[in-house]
Structure 1
Amino acid sequence: MSGHGQEQNERAPLRPAVFLDRDGTINEQMGYINHLSRFHLLPKVGEAIRLLNRHGLPVVVVTNQSGLARGYFPAALLDAVHAEMVRLLALDGARIDGLYVCPHHPEAKEERYRLACSCRKPRTGLLEQAARDMGLDLARSYMVGDRWSDLRCGSAAGATSLLVLTGYGRGDLCYIGPNQAVQPAHVAEDLASAVQWILEQERQRGALAQ
């Protein structure tokens, strides 16, 4: 597991956060992003994340990247992709507050990545690590993704899970979702719509930053 987030003052109260899957939620679902030219933000993503920033909700990206474990691309490319994500978001006045990556897979080409870890979604290790690092309240947080593995991860961590219909979302809703015990609290057309729903929940709680 790798990640980074804002340092948390030990005495500060725990905060809710918005956890975002990467591929299919933030950027176009292209299979493995094995070249920088394949990374493209989805429409309105920068605007949506900027809105969360404005309202004081930490934004944390949590992503499985088994392509690294399978040897499809090097760690340097993954770093470059994430640097490009940060750069493109900044052009829209948006930022992420944390980034946590699972590079593992039980059938990894490289031995250092070959394990059944606790951080590969739908397991909850990435969210739990972010919560420890950043002082987050998982029970008041949100998990947004385009796969049922994202929803199961969020639910298992105690967060409110949302499905977006970008990426694999529409197909998962039709063909995977009906047989699942875990169901999304909300189904959104895209991240921008998901953020509007989240902000409405926070308004009802009286929890939005002024």
Structure 2
Amino acid sequence: MTPALFLDRDGVINVDHGYVHRAEDTQFVPGIFELVRAANERQWPVVVVTNQAGIGRGFYTEEIFHGYMQWMRARFVEHGARLDHIYFCPHHPTHGLGPYALACDCRKPAPGMLLRAIAEHDIEPGRSVMVGDSPKDAAAAQAAGVGRIFLLNDEANPHEVRHGTVQNVSSLAALKQQLWPAP
């Protein structure tokens, strides 16, 4: 079993401008390529776990989401980094349309996406790291047994940390240094 780096997407990989699904609307969070490259160098799988209620609400389709994620993966490759696995939840219990209108076990704060990744890729959750930007990300990671949980925090978006295993971090560069200090 190996540890993994779990990442939320909106707010961690890309700046959350609300339902981002097009290249022209994408602004990468500073330090994301370096953080992912550091995990890749250590042979840690990098797993994206993202709620995508925009699909359920009818703002874009699953096909558009997959195409966008292919584009995003190519940007990582251009920066010498790799996103290994992508899990997404298209559901929303109250605003979802048609088959997307349901309460599921994959929408964070439920741990379904993380548990599925752990089972499918032989991941050691206790040695793994989750990076999110919302208490929902922390709750999902805690429920899945992830050992270290970080919430990306800036002064405009403070998070209250209620559990000892969750830490606020001011930037992805600071997190990379904390996880894997430079020699």
Q: Hey, what's the Cα distance between the residues in 1 that align with 2:42 and 2:156? A: 29
Q: Paired residue for 1:189, among 170, 173, 180?
A: 170
Structure 2 CA distance for aligned equivalents of residues 86 and 34 of structure 1: 13
- Whether the 8 Å contact between 1:34 and 1:72 is mirrored in structure 2 is no
1:35, distance to aligned residue in structure 2 (A)? 3.3
Check the 8 A contact 2:138/2:166 in 1, yes or no. no
What does residue range 73-88 of structure 1 map to in structure 2 within 5 Å?
73-88=60-75
Question: In structure 2, what is the equivalent of residue 149 of structure 1?
Answer: 136
1:172 equivalent to 2:158? Answer: yes
Asked if structure 1 preserves the Cα contact closer than 8 Å seen for 2:10 and 2:16, the reply is: yes
User: Who is 1:204 aligned against?
Assistant: none
* 1:40 aligned partner: 27
1:182 alignment partner AA = H
CA distance in 2, matches of 1:146, 1:135: 25
Structure 1 residue ranges, 4+ long, deviating more than 4 angstroms after superposition: none
Question: CA 1:109 to 1:144, structure 2 compared with 1: closer, same or farther past 3 Å?
Answer: closer
Tell me the CA shift for residue 192 of structure 1: 2.7
Distance 2:120 2:156 in 1: 33
Distance in 2 separating the partners of 1:162 and 1:36: 27
> TM-score scaled to structure 2, two decimals?
0.90
Over the aligned positions, Cα root-mean-square deviation in angstroms equals: 2.0
Aligned with residue 162 of structure 1, among 147, 150, 158: 150
**Which has the larger Rg?**
1
Long gaps (5+) in structure 1: 1-13, 201-210
Identical counterparts, % of pairs: 35
CA apart distance, 1:63: 0.2
Q: Which segments of 5 or more consecutive residues in structure 2 lack a partner in the other structure?
A: none
Return the alpha-carbon distance in structure 2 between the equivalents of residues 181 and 188 of structure 1. 15
Paired residue secondary structure (2:92)? coil
* Structure-2 separation of matches of 1:91 and 1:34: 19
Map of 1:60-139 to 2, 5 A cutoff?
A: 60-139=47-126
Per the TM alignment, residue 185 of structure 1 is displaced from its structure 2 partner at its CA by 3.5
Q: Kindly indicate whether the alpha-carbon contact (under 8 Å) linking 1:69 and 1:109 is maintained by their aligned counterparts in 2.
A: yes
Aligned length: 181
Helix, strand or coil: the match of 1:24? coil
